[in-house]
């Protein structure tokens, strides 16, 4: 009965709108078309609901919906296109040639036209006393300097700074204030094209020898230099050449140094660390 009333109501509205009265057949035809439209709208809503369930998005609220496990009937075909998860950045590590250049205890003898000693010693932060050059090593017109202040009694820290300088002045400087550890390592340069590099650090006074193990190159054996009065560690440094072309834009640079190992007088290993950029670095 309600359907009949709706048809008659539509017929009356159509007569008023179109200026003619619909016969019985026209009324029946309009009722059939209305039912088709309603069924079509219901089907569209069902499709939208199915699609929303597949893509995991709540279309009605705009919020992400929990994804349910999608059953698979076989292996997913490969598209051959690289993605972030399937194509990690290529790691670039240079080959190296160690140089037989020996580190010396301070003070730095010069010449020092660029006043590089003042640049490095002025960077030592914390502690007390006078900042002095404790180690220097040079090759190919460049000088590596280590400066430090005495550590106050009862404190387990080291106040020092390093500089990789041109003999005529200018270069890279780095203040370091750190807790005492048996071995701490840093390095600079050596990025290919026969660029000069240096590996250096502080080591326990128990160590009498260190071995630097490179990823690509012969090991480099070093003898530590006495840190001086009031400094609870010794220092070490060695130089090398980085070989090959520099890294390309898509390559991720990593350290040429793999590990540094320290040995005591009896040949026992007293400290060791791994050199990495980011996670995994223990130096």
Question: Contact 220/200 with Cβ under 8 angstroms?
Answer: no
Of 27 and 243, more confident: 243
Cα torsion at 22, 28, 34, 39 (round to 10°)? Answer: -170
In this structure, the number of other CB atoms found within 10 A of the CB of residue 283 comes to: 19
Task: Give the mean model confidence (pLDDT) for residues 10-30.
Answer: 49
- For residue 6, the model assigns a pLDDT of 56
- For residue 130, the model assigns a pLDDT of 94
- For residue 252, the model assigns a pLDDT of 84
- For residue 53, the model assigns a pLDDT of 36
Q: Domains of the chain: which residue ranges? A: 2-55, 90-274
Question: Contact 146/124 with Cβ under 8 angstroms?
Answer: no
Q: What's the chain's average pLDDT?
A: 77
How do residues 208-240 score in pLDDT, each as one tens digit?
Answer: 999 999 999 999 999 999 999 999 999 999 999
Task: Give the mean model confidence (pLDDT) for residues 181-188.
Answer: 92
**Encoded tokens for 95:** 């080959």
Per-residue DSSP letter, 85: T
Is the omega angle on the peptide bond into residue 12 within 30 degrees of 0, that is, cis? no
pTM above 0.95, yes or no: no
How do residues 197-212 score in pLDDT, each as one tens digit?
Answer: 999 999 999 999 999 9
Residue 279 has pLDDT above 50, yes or no: yes
């Amino acid at each position: 009965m309600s359907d009949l009333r709706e048809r008659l109501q539509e017929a009356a509205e159509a007569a008023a709108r179109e200026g003619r009265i619909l016969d019985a057949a026209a009324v029946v035809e309009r009722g059939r078309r209305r039912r088709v439209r309603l069924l079509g709208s219901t089907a569209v809503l069902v499709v939208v609901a199915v699609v929303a369930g597949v893509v995991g998005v709540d279309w009605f609220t705009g919020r992400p919906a929990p994804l349910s496990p999608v059953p698979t009937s076989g292996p997913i075909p490969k598209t051959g296109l690289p993605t972030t998860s399937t194509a990690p950045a290529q790691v670039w590590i240079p080959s190296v040639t160690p140089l037989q250049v020996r580190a010396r205890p301070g003070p730095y003898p010069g010449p020092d036209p660029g006043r590089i000693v003042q640049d490095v010693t002025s960077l030592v932060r914390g502690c007390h006393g006078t900042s002095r050059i404790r180690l220097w090593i040079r090759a190919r017109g460049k000088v590596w300097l280590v400066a430090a202040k005495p550590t106050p009694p009862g404190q387990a820290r080291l106040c020092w700074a390093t500089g990789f300088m041109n003999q005529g002045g200018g270069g890279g400087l780095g203040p370091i204030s750190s807790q005492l550890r048996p071995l701490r390592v840093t390095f600079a340069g050596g990025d290919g094209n026969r660029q000069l590099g240096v590996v250096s650090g502080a080591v326990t006074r128990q160590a009498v020898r260190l071995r630097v193990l490179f990823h690509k190159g012969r090991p480099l054996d070093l003898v530590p230099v006495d840190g001086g009065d009031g400094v609870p560690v010794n220092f070490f440094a060695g130089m090398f050449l980085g070989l090959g072309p520099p890294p390309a834009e898509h390559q991720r640079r990593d350290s040429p140094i793999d590990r540094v190992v320290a040995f005591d007088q009896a040949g026992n290993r007293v400290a060791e660390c791994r050199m990495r950029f980011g996670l995994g670095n223990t130096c």
